[in-house]
């Protein structure tokens, strides 16, 4: 296999000026990240600060209703409310061990910015977060959280003033300030070694879940399901199960409204191969290679690319990728609240929405392990607005 590739996908499609920090990171992956000292400190942070291991919860009420054995890996219980903190603590610790003083990040909805600002505060690092001006208006709450945590939020006013423009701005900043700055990318995207490094930091999800499931059920699940934006919670959940042929892997993307020609984020289901943000992967693009706008009711799924390893898992047939509409995710959100007492993130609600919509086609009694990537408290405004407009369009 070519260095930094997953089959035909991955690589390092970056300007020459970005190669020195990428090579430095590749070396750090071999030396620092593999060291006993890193392992010891990372494990301690995950346990005492992040709150790992997160729980494995059986959905007793939903299982009965669906005729399945449904289990949730509870990343919503991790500090800051989602899996993103696993990655930012790993990269934060690496930054410190590299002797650098600043964590740089991009953020869309603000969740990765908050997780990065949290890691920076805990580890005594400076933090600069690039965020599209449109997103800053939409997510004022998370901007306040980042500022309270001591981060500097830089508005990005180019392009669509959203996530992909924030990534471009952060990459430019990194080129200029690479000596003292580490770019803390938020998902398993971007040039090598980010997809591999971030997968390894998130793989704790699947490692824990596999051991917990074995202990409680005595075998492996029949099916593992996770939502896919950039793909980090999904690859973190899948990684440990990829070598287990009896375990079916299902990644769930956001189909938007589901109307023909609507904007969506179903990159693997409907996209085509190309290069974005330094990596070759599947993308939402025009025939001429212009990146298309993406959309999802779940802010964390709203990205026109996807991690290259998922493109390869799809190409090899090892994992299957499906998509779920905004409405299905909203219905799943409400179902989990009422039947199990858990408010799921809208992103995670896509994974659950697929299980609810397709339960009849899954062999009765199958065990399904679902990654509940985050908690839904952050989404209450979006949910209330979406439910109100559903009511209006139904004319009542």
Ligand X SMILES: *Cc1c(COP(=O)(O)O)cnc(C)c1O
Residues forming the active site: 59, 83
Residues 265-304 vs ligand X: string with x where CB under 6 A?
-----------------------------------xx---
* Binder of ligand X out of 153, 166, 345, 355 (CB under 6 A): 345
Closer residue to ligand X, CB minimum distance, 165 or 379: 379
State the minimum distance, in angstroms, from the CB of residue 117 to ligand X.
14
* Binder of ligand X out of 142, 187, 265, 296 (CB under 6 A): 187
Report yes or no: 383 and 348 within 8 Å, Cβ to Cβ: no
Closer residue to ligand X, CB minimum distance, 156 or 188: 188
State the minimum distance, in angstroms, from the CB of residue 229 to ligand X.
3
Angle formed at CA 307 by CA 128 and CA 110, multiple of 5 degrees: 30
Q: Is residue 91 a contact residue for ligand X (CB under 6 A)?
A: no
Options 90-98, 256-264, 342-350, 379-387: segment touching ligand X (CB under 6 A):
342-350
Q: Is residue 228 a contact residue for ligand X (CB under 6 A)?
A: yes
Closer residue to ligand X, CB minimum distance, 82 or 342: 82
Q: Is residue 110 a contact residue for ligand X (CB under 6 A)?
A: no
- Virtual torsion, Cα 260, 266, 268, 274, nearest 10 deg: 90
CA-to-CA distance for 234 and 213, rounded, in angstroms?
17
Q: Is residue 233 a contact residue for ligand X (CB under 6 A)?
A: yes
Binders of ligand X among residues 116 to 175 (CB under 6 A) are none
The pair phi, psi for residue 105, each rounded to 5°, is: -145, 160
Buried b or exposed e, range 176-186, using 16+ CB within 10 angstroms? ebbeebbbbbb
Q: Is residue 230 a contact residue for ligand X (CB under 6 A)?
A: yes
Closer residue to ligand X, CB minimum distance, 229 or 271: 229
State the minimum distance, in angstroms, from the CB of residue 50 to ligand X.
14
**CB half-sphere exposure, 102, CA atoms < 13 A:** 17
CA-to-CA distance for 260 and 70, rounded, in angstroms?
32
State the minimum distance, in angstroms, from the CB of residue 105 to ligand X.
12
CA-to-CA distance for 136 and 147, rounded, in angstroms?
12
* Binder of ligand X out of 178, 267, 314, 373 (CB under 6 A): 373
Q: Is residue 376 a contact residue for ligand X (CB under 6 A)?
A: no
The DSSP secondary-structure symbol of 379 reads: G
State the minimum distance, in angstroms, from the CB of residue 82 to ligand X.
4
Quick count: other Cβ atoms within 10 Å of Cβ 379? Answer: 24
CA-to-CA distance for 358 and 362, rounded, in angstroms?
7
Binders of ligand X among residues 65 to 84 (CB under 6 A) are 82, 84
Among residues 207, 174, 23, 172, the alpha carbon closest in space to that of 103 is found at 174
CA-to-CA distance for 213 and 194, rounded, in angstroms?
29
State the minimum distance, in angstroms, from the CB of residue 253 to ligand X.
9
Q: Is residue 232 a contact residue for ligand X (CB under 6 A)?
A: yes
- Beta-carbon contacts of 292 under 8 Å, excluding residues fewer than 6 positions away, are 263, 284, 285, 286, 304
Which positions lie near ligand X, rule CB under 6 A?
82, 84, 111, 187, 227-234, 300-301, 345, 347-348, 373-374
């Amino acid at each position: 296999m070519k260095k930094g590739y997953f089959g035909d996908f991955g690589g390092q499609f970056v300007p020459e000026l970005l190669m020195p920090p990428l090579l430095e990171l590749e070396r750090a992956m071999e030396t620092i990240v593999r060291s006993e000292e890193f392992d010891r400190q990372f494990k301690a942070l995950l346990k005492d600060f992040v709150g790992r291991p997160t729980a494995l919860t059986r959905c007793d009420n939903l299982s009965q209703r669906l005729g399945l054995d449904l289990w949730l890996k509870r990343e919503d219980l991790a500090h800051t409310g989602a899996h993103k903190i696993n990655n930012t603590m790993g990269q934060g610790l690496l930054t410190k061990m590299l002797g650098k003083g600043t964590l740089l990040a991009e953020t869309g909805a603000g969740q990765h910015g908050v997780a990065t600002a949290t890691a920076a505060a805990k580890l005594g690092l400076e933090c600069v977060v690039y965020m599209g001006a449109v997103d800053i208006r939409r997510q004022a709450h998370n901007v306040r959280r980042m500022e309270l945590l001591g981060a500097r939020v830089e508005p990005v006013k180019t392009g669509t003033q959203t996530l992909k423009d924030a990534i471009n701005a952060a990459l430019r900043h990194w080129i200029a300030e690479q000596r003292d700055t580490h770019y803390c990318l938020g998902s398993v995207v971007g040039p090598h070694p980010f997809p591999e490094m971030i997968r390894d930091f998130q793989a704790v999800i699947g490692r824990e879940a596999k051991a917990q499931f074995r202990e409680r059920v005595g075998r492996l699940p029949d099916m593992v399901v996770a939502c896919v934006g950039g793909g980090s919670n999904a690859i973190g959940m899948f990684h440990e199960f990829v070598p287990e042929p009896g375990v079916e892997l299902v990644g769930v993307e956001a189909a938007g409204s589901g109307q023909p020609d609507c904007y969506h984020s179903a990159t693997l289901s409907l996209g085509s191969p190309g290069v974005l943000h330094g990596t070759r992967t599947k993308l939402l693009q025009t025939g001429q290679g212009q990146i298309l706008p993406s959309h999802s009711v779940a802010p964390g799924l709203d990205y026109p690319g996807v991690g290259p390893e998922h493109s390869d898992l799809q190409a090899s047939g090892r994992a299957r990728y499906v998509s779920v509409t905004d409405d299905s995710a909203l219905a799943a959100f409400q179902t989990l609240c009422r039947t199990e007492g858990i408010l799921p993130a809208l992103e995670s609600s896509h994974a659950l929405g697929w299980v609810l919509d397709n339960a009849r086609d899954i062999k009765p009694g199958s065990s399904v392990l679902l990654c509940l990537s985050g908690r839904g408290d952050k989404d209450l405004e979006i949910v209330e607005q979406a439910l109100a407009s559903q009511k209006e369009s139904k004319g009542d």
